[in-house]
Amino acid sequence: MADTAVQLHRVWRSLTARALIVLALFIALPVVLYLTFRQADIDRQRLLLESIRVKGLTVGRVLEDRLQRADMIPLFRLGEELSRFQTEGVSLRLLFRPHDSAPDAGFLYVASAPPVMPADLEAERARLDATGVLAQLGESCAGDLPLALRVERSDRVSELITSLTPVRTARGCWVLVISSNLADAAEQRLGQPYWRAPEVQVAAAIYLIFAFVVLVIAFDLGHGLRRFAATARAVAERRIEGRFAQRNQIPELEPVANAFDRMEDSLRATASELRVAAEESAHAFKTPLGTIRQAMVPLRGRIAADDKRCQQALMAVDGALEKLDALVRAARHLDDAVADRLDPPREKVDLGALVEDVVDAYAADAAARGITLRTAVEAEATAPLGGRLIADALSQVIENALSYAPAGSTATVTLHRGTRRVLIVVADNGPGVEAALLPHIFDRHVSFRDRSRNDPGAAAPANFGLGLWVAKRNMEAVGGTIEAANRRGGGFIVTLGLPLA
């Protein structure tokens, strides 16, 4: 539970997670608002439409009695008859279909009030015919049909057909078409999709502009942070000159840049002090060690050859001096390695030459153990920094391989170059490591392979259990990796990965 809570907290603190939340809100908010306001607009239009329909149906009821006597009114007088009942904002049109007409014959306009252009009447009749309403009336000629059919006239006047009132007479079927002029802004939107409303389009345009500005700011901020990180790495690796604070382009991150410069100065100062302290400590230890060795010279001459006790004491002192001398060298080496990890040397490294030099340094040791040490440099490759750290890591791995490889076997060191990385592979024919223990092979003071099976007389080296740990730390310091695995058919393989310059 505690790990889950920590992970959730990290996710919540992540800028990426928060950006995704803001993005989700940006997408959801306009959708919710649009659906809410559209429903409100639909309800408002429904009320307005009902009021218009009631007005049209009222006119239809008044004219229904007149339509019953339409057969007795000459066609040219029907327009005058309709105009007597036409009111402001309401248009009346009369359709007629004789009983003796063909089955597929439609309705014809015979009168309108106020007068309408023939082209507009024909377009309106075509729209009514397309809805199937006229076909339905042609069969029954009964029942009021409420509609909400929007038509646009050639004079740019919008009308809404609200009802059709049919009346059957002896001559045929008369249909009174009642429509209302959409005069004000609210009525103009009847029958139109909500998204075509001017205020919705303006709001959408403002939202899109706002969203675009926010996205530009977000992307610029993300790019600025990535540039900030890249500049920090470049300054830390000395690929560019100058202080980090001088290259920072985000004013709000200036305190971070100053803190970074102070930290880098502190690390470089510490590395320099470690190197000086290592040199001074080595010099301080070597002086008394040299004095002890000189003082031992006259003692050797005064002790008789048959005095075994004294001879054993001299041998013990010589062994202790050699061990102390080795410890001093190892301590200085470790201090230098720590200093290099704090402030790695920035010169580019010819990895091919480095591999050959390190292998040459171990050639005599390998020959003394009866082991053949081979090198294969497949291509030229250059690492950006950390020559001493890489050489020390490779030395630790080779020494580990020679310590466990049996006499008469072959150890190989191969350099492979890829498109972005370089691999240095060290393989031996030793006993390998149990698979369950491999994840701990680079831990400090850890060694799982039994050296005695291959070289019973071999003594443990001074850095027993530290070699691969030191190699891992060095590789991490130069941005590299190190991996270990058992070889198929027996043996062990260690792979050092490095970035190309």
Instruction: Write out the DSSP string of 142-179.
Output: -S-EEEEEEEE-TTS-EEEEEEEEEEE-SSEEEEEEEE
The count of domains in the chain is: 3
Mean pLDDT, the chain, integer: 78
233 domain residue, yes or no:
no
Whether 66 has a pLDDT exceeding 50, the answer reads yes
Please tell me whether residues 363 and 495 are part of one structural domain.
yes
| Whether pLDDT at 202 is above 70 | yes
Q: What is the mean pLDDT of residues 295-299?
A: 79
Tell which of 148, 177, 194 closes a domain: 194
Is 17 within a domain?
no
- Residue 59 CB partners (closer than 8 Å, separation 6+): 85, 87, 90, 92, 178
Residue 426 has pLDDT above 90, yes or no: yes
Q: Compute the CA torsion angle 121, 127, 129, 130 (nearest 10 deg).
A: 160
Residues 64, 174, single domain; the answer is yes
Under the banding of pLDDT at 50, 70 and 90, the label for residue 459 is very low
* Whole-prediction pTM: 0.47
Q: How far apart (Å, rounded) are the C-alpha atoms in residues 217 and 481? A: 37
> Is 70's pLDDT higher than 60?
yes
pLDDT bracket for residue 218 (50, 70, 90): confident
Burial 469-481 (b: 16+ CB within 10 A, else e): bbbbbbbebbbbe
Half-sphere exposure of 448 (CA within 13 A, CB side): 18
Q: 96 pLDDT exceeds 50?
A: yes
Q: Cα–Cα distance between 255 and 204 in angstroms, integer?
A: 40
The rounded radius of gyration (Å) of the Cα atoms in the chain is 48
**Could you tell me if 79 and 146 lie in one domain?**
yes
Q: Are 413 and 376 in contact (CB under 8 A)?
A: yes
What does the pLDDT average to over 478-488?
Answer: 87
CATH of residue 105's domain is 3.30.450
Q: What is the pLDDT of residue 324?
A: 83
Q: Is residue 298 part of a domain?
A: yes
CATH, residue 302: 1.10.287
Whether residues 433 and 314 share a domain: the answer is: no
Rounded to whole angstroms, how far apart are CA atoms 5 and 134? 69
In a domain, 228, yes or no: no
Measure CA of the first residue to CA of the last residue in the chain; give whole Å: 44
User: Is the four-CA dihedral 203, 204, 209, 212 of positive or negative sign?
Assistant: positive
Could you identify the residue written with the tokens 């709000």? 252
Q: Is residue 71, in this structure, part of any structural domain at all?
A: yes
User: What values do phi and psi take at 185, rounded to 5?
Assistant: -65, -35
CB 177 within 8 A of CB 92: yes
Average pLDDT over residues 278-294: 78
Residue carrying structure tokens 């382009």: 249
Mean pLDDT of 168-193: 71
170 and 261 fall within a common domain: no
Question: Is residue 433, in this structure, part of any structural domain at all?
Answer: yes
Tokens of 412: 């190989």
pLDDT over 90, % of the chain: 5
Give the whole-angstrom CA distance, residue 145 versus residue 166.
9
Tell me: the pLDDT tens digits for 123-179? 887 888 877 777 777 777 776 666 667 777 776 777 778 778 888 888 888 888 888
- The CATH number linked to 443 is 3.30.565.10
Q: Which domain holds residue 393?
A: 349-499
Same domain, 381 and 360: yes
Q: Tell whether 366 and 463 lie within a shared domain.
A: yes
pLDDT at 232 over 50: yes
- Confidence class of residue 413 from pLDDT cuts 50, 70 and 90? very high
More confident residue, 359 or 30: 359
User: For the chain, how many residues are written?
Assistant: 501
pLDDT at 494: 92
Residue 33 has pLDDT above 50, yes or no: yes
Please tell me which of 125-134, 200-209, 260-269 the model is most confident about, judged by mean pLDDT.
Answer: 200-209
Same-domain pairing of 149 and 270:
no
Does 456 have pLDDT greater than 60? no
Q: Which of 279-293, 395-409, 437-451, 465-479 has the highest mean pLDDT?
A: 395-409
Dihedral (CA of 167, 173, 174, 177) sign: positive
Cβ-based neighbours of 442, under 8 Å, separated by 6 or more: 468, 469, 471, 472, 482, 484
User: Does 447 lie in the same domain as 305?
Assistant: no
In the listed set 342, 365, 400, which residue is the last one of a domain according to the structure? 342
pLDDT, mean of residues 287-291 = 80
143-147, 225-229, 273-277 — most confident range: 225-229
Among 298, 318, 342, where does a domain finish?
342
Q: Which of 91-105, 150-164, 405-419 has the highest mean pLDDT?
A: 405-419
Q: What would you measure as the largest C-alpha separation in the chain, in angstroms?
A: 162
What pLDDT shows up at residue 321?
A: 81
* Amino acid letter, residue 215: L
At 189, the pLDDT band (50, 70, 90 cuts) reads low
Q: Are residues 356 and 491 in the same domain?
A: yes
Amino acid 192: pLDDT: 64
The answer on 311 and 176 residing in a single domain is: no
DSSP 422: E
Please compute, for residue 8, the number of CA atoms within 13 A of its CA located in the half-sphere on the CB side.
5
Angle at 196 between CA 194 and CA 199, to 5 degrees: 85
Residue 77 pLDDT > 90? no
32 domain residue, yes or no: no
Same domain, 360 and 466: yes
Which of the residue ranges 100-114, 123-137, 469-483 has the most confident prediction, judged by mean pLDDT?
469-483
What burial letters (b/e) apply to 274-308, b meaning 16+ CB within 10 Å? Answer: bbeebeeebeebeeeeeeeeeeeeeeeeeeeeeee
Burial 152-174 (b: 16+ CB within 10 A, else e): ebeeeebbbbbbbbbbebeebbb
Beta bridge partners of 167: 174
Q: Which residues are CB-contacts of 335 (< 8 A; sequence separation ≥ 6)?
A: 274, 275, 277, 278, 281
Q: Does the residue 445 lie in any domain?
A: yes
pLDDT at 425: 92
Residue 367: its H or E element? helix 351-368
Q: CA–CA separation, 388 vs 405, rounded Å?
A: 25
Mean pLDDT of 92-101: 83
